[in-house]
Amino acid sequence: MDFELSDEQQQLKSEVQRFAENEIIPVAKEYDREEKYPHDVIDQAAEMGLLAPQIPFDYGGAGYDVLDTAIIVEELFAADPGIGLCLCSTGFGTEAIIEFGTEEQKEEYLEPVARGEAISGAAISEPDTGSDVSSVSTRAEKDGDEWVINGNKMWITNGSIGDFFVVLCKTDPDAEGRYNGFSQIIVESDRDGFTADKITGKMGIRASDTAELILDNVRVPEENLVGTEGMGFLQQMQFFDETRTGVAAQGVGIAKGAAERALDYAQEREQFGRPIGDFQAIQHKLADMHTEAEAARNLTYKSAWSVDHADGQLTKLASMAKEFASRTAVKNANECVQIHGGSGYVDDFDAERFYRDAKITQIYEGTTEIQKMIIARELQGKGF
């Protein structure tokens, strides 16, 4: 077993670290306070090829695999989870187009995202539908050579700044079987009847744009259908192992960032005439934080490797990685605040922002409770 990153991966890691130190960390507090999308940072990231790294070379992307992408995500989130999510999410929804889209769709939608000229989104969740994806009620009905779409989507990343969205719809309400009759359809945000209402006041990841989408008789051409009509739900399920591994990498990044900031502060802050890092209580916290971050990283990397190599352990490992890494992120962020003491309770330091940002990793892409259900079902051979 070889746990070493390749020379290329080490170089990628170093380049992302430098970018994060120079372009993200200096402005992170500003974008968090103002709940503002970091367009300038996005433009700079596009020049480095950090946007939608999974898009293939043929369509202008970097063509990185899941492990490479996990390395990128970890370093961005270690710098700042809010801006990190903005950079990692510019290509949300493109996975479906890469895997199931037509050649025309790939050329039209993937290339602008890879160049940083367009932002995409995946519109799945609804006001009454979160973990139970099969309860999606947004309808798409055929009218001649067009789809007419009606419904609401909730908690959509990039919702008010996205250029197009891959929308999960019910296209055949009479289909037999709980998971049949759904389709994925591309909806451009400039279509008549499409409106987005930005959600503000979030606990964390405030730089990232989140919105409710309202689709009122939105018409799109029939060629906007992605993949096979009626198979949208099953198509979507194929990406959860990859996307949950991605959230695990986010958790690893937050855990790392919190542990590093706690260590720095413990070595600088003095009480009773010496650094607080000399005290055993603080030493134990630091030891646990760095140990658990390393454990989360190894589990996440193994999950990423498994997705890339399809070794048959995908779903169980992805849910294990997502659950453990997100739990470690929350724990490390909490301990980071504790080590900072009163200074960790105000935004003069990064500790309080990491504390607020960490929690979302236990919620989106399947809650902690859902991950544990999946793990248990996989252990018993029951699947979803």
**pLDDT over threshold 80, residue 312:** no
Global confidence as pTM: 0.95
**Residues 210 and 107: beta-carbon distance below 8 Å:** no
pLDDT value of position 196: 98
Reduced 3-state DSSP string for 269-335: CEECCEEHHHCHHHHHHHHHHHHHHHHHHHHHHHHHHHHHHCCCCHHHHHHHHHHHHHHHHHHHHHH
In this prediction, residue 97 has a pLDDT band, given cuts at 50, 70 and 90, of very high
Contacts of 219 (CB under 8 A, 6+ apart): 143, 146, 147, 148, 149, 191, 192, 193
Choosing from 229, 292, 365, 378, the catalytic residue is 365
**pLDDT over threshold 90, residue 282:** yes
Q: Which of 133, 171, 167, 170 minimizes the C-alpha distance to 153? A: 167
**pLDDT over threshold 80, residue 49:** yes
Respond yes or no: is residue 365 known to be catalytic: yes
- For the four alpha carbons of 139, 246, 207 and 114, in that order, the dihedral sign comes to negative
Question: What is the tens place of the pLDDT at every residue in 103-151?
Answer: 999 999 999 999 999 999 999 999 988 777 778 999 999 999 999 999 9
Interhelix angle 280-309/240-268, rounded to 10 degrees, is 160
In this prediction, residue 3 has a pLDDT band, given cuts at 50, 70 and 90, of confident
DSSP conformational letter for 16: H
294-331 in b/e form (b: 16+ CB < 10 A) is eebbebbbbbbbbbbeeeebbbbbbbbbbbbbbbbbbb
In this prediction, residue 247 has a pLDDT band, given cuts at 50, 70 and 90, of very high
* Position 82, amino acid: G
In this prediction, residue 383 has a pLDDT band, given cuts at 50, 70 and 90, of low
In this prediction, residue 325 has a pLDDT band, given cuts at 50, 70 and 90, of very high
CA distance 180 to 355: 40
Q: What is the pLDDT of the chain when averaged over all its residues?
A: 95
* Position 320, amino acid: M
**pLDDT over threshold 70, residue 253:** yes
- Provide the percentage of residues in the chain whose pLDDT is more than 90: 88
CA distance 315 to 317: 6
Residue 184, beta-bridge partner list: 168, 226
